[in-house]
Amino acid sequence: MSEHIVVTNANFETEVLKSPVPVLLDFWASWCGPCRMIAPFIEQLADEYSGRIRVGKVNVDEEADLAGRHGIVSIPTLLVYKDGKIVNQTVGAVPKQSIEALFKGLI
């Protein structure tokens, strides 16, 4: 299983904004049922696209400031960053193909 990056305020700039490849950023919480539903899809995509994308996870309970700066009001929220900018996003539990479509054209 691939490793995802735990994204925090402290490493956000390095891991996301300065990433040389697109970053799929998952805003989630352990108590969130829909977050748990899509977690296997996120991990599968991280494996399938290893080296071509990075997958970061932001726990909204632990990183409320980071979630607030992104205007996160519902989870799961998935953001795709490329070259330091948000280029795509979706909210809610969506199928694996929909998650893949967020970044596939960017790699």
DSSP letter at 53 equals B
Question: What string of DSSP letters covers 16-43?
Answer: IIT-SS-EEEEEE-TT-HHHHHHHHHHH
Residue 56 falls in the annotated catalytic set: no
Catalytic residue among 24, 25, 32, 53: 32
Catalytic residue among 35, 55, 58, 75: 35
Residue 16 falls in the annotated catalytic set: no
Count other Cβ atoms within 10 Å, centred on residue 74. Answer: 10
* CA distances from residue 77 to 1, 11, 20, 51 in whole angstroms, order as listed: 22, 19, 22, 23
The set of catalytic residues is 32, 35
